[in-house]
Chain A
Amino acid sequence: MRKTLPFNLRVLDYVIILVAVAITVATAVLLYGGKAASLQVVVEGSGKTWIFPIGSEETLQVPGPIGTTVVRIHDKQTWIESSPCHNQLCVAAGKIDRADQWVACLPNKVFVRIKGKKSDEGPDWSTW
């Protein structure tokens, strides 16, 4: 084998490098590993907060100052199905399914967002 370095690495050099690689890989796996499974839907309204895993099946009636906003969680997506507001922007906002996306009904003070780690899968449709 051709000698590439003009000195010899010693036993512990290899051990230390291996340990360092192991620590690096372990932190990467630990931190970036358990992906989208941990996404949660956070629904806030009238001073209360509800948290559901995104995989759950829920139809939530959230009371607000002007009536009841209906939030649906279904098939790993969540959206506002109906709301008593007159512009219906929140309903038009459609479905959200990724970390840090949100949809809100301002007149009825209901805020729905998805909490969790961002996964890099797929394009970012909001800027694409």
Chain B
Amino acid sequence: MKAPTGLPGDAITVDRAVALLGAFCLFLSTIEYLIPKPLPFIRIGIANLPLMIALDILPLPSFISLVFIKILGQGIITGSLLSYVFLFSLAGTVFSSAAMYVGWKIAAPRFVSFVGIGVIGALTSNITQILCARIFIFGESALYIAPPFLAVGLVTGISLGVLCELFVQRSRWYGDFKK
């Protein structure tokens, strides 16, 4: 068995990071689930924090597997895995992670910080879910939930971004990983 070297390109180190961040996603999903929600679809999205942290340290394939670990784990924890709500979660997470990944690769860290990336993620996720709601369930009237939904997303996106930025600055684990 090969020992992890701690270098970013090292397969074992990367796999360990995926496992750790994946577990982190599940834990945060649980915390998220504990928090009462004023409206059914409005969420803080703290389970996306590990995805944001992963942006800079995981190669694309590992990032994608982390995204699916998050989606599946969240589906199991919230019990929505086999319901239509899962489709919303799936679409929201897939599109927002894609948007965050692309945004990060294009502009970070010079032109954008995790704050902007967080807002992009929240916005993409919310818009995707509103469109899903419009297409699959409520029709035209789904759009009426958009403004409060987007406003909350903006606030949570900024907060998550700040949190992520602080984590990245202070975490020794992250620092070691980046070396």
Interface, chain A (partner B; CB < 8 A): 5-13, 15-17, 20-21, 23-24, 27-28, 31-32
Task: Please give the distance in Å from B150's CB to the nearest CB on chain A.
Answer: 4
Cα A16 to Cα B104 in complex, Å, equals 13
Does B112 sit within 8 A of A, measured CB to CB?
A: yes
- Residues of B in contact (CB 8 Å), total 26
Q: Are B123 and A10 neighbours in the complex by a CB distance under 8 Å? A: no
- Inter-chain contacts of A11 with B (CB < 8 A): 111-112
Q: Are A6 and B166 neighbours in the complex by a CB distance under 8 Å? A: yes
Nearest residue in A to B147 (C-beta to C-beta)?
A28
Q: Are B110 and A10 neighbours in the complex by a CB distance under 8 Å? A: yes
The verdict on A17 contacting B116 (CB below 8 Å), with A6-B169, A10-B110, A12-B107 known, is: yes
- Inter-chain contacts of A32 with B (CB < 8 A): 147
The verdict on A24 contacting B116 (CB below 8 Å), with A6-B169, A7-B165, A11-B111 known, is: no
Nearest residue in A to B107 (C-beta to C-beta)?
A12
Does B84 sit within 8 A of A, measured CB to CB?
A: no
Main secondary structure of the interface of A (DSSP, over half): helix
Q: Are B146 and A10 neighbours in the complex by a CB distance under 8 Å? A: no
Q: Are B158 and A17 neighbours in the complex by a CB distance under 8 Å? A: yes
Q: Are B154 and A5 neighbours in the complex by a CB distance under 8 Å? A: no
- Inter-chain contacts of A23 with B (CB < 8 A): 123, 150
- Inter-chain contacts of B147 with A (CB < 8 A): 24, 27-28, 31-32
Q: Are A7 and B113 neighbours in the complex by a CB distance under 8 Å? A: yes
With most chain A CB atoms within 10 A of its CB, the pick from B116, B154, B161 is B116
- Inter-chain contacts of B150 with A (CB < 8 A): 20, 23-24, 27
Does B22 sit within 8 A of A, measured CB to CB?
A: no
Cα A57 to Cα B72 in complex, Å, equals 58
Contact for A20 among B109, B110, B119, B143, CB less than 8 A:
B119
Q: A16-B112, A17-B119, A24-B151 are in contact. List 17 more A-B contacts (CB 8 A).
A: A7-B165, A7-B166, A10-B110, A10-B112, A10-B113, A12-B112, A13-B115, A17-B115, A20-B123, A20-B150, A20-B154, A20-B157, A27-B143, A27-B150, A28-B151, A31-B143, A31-B146
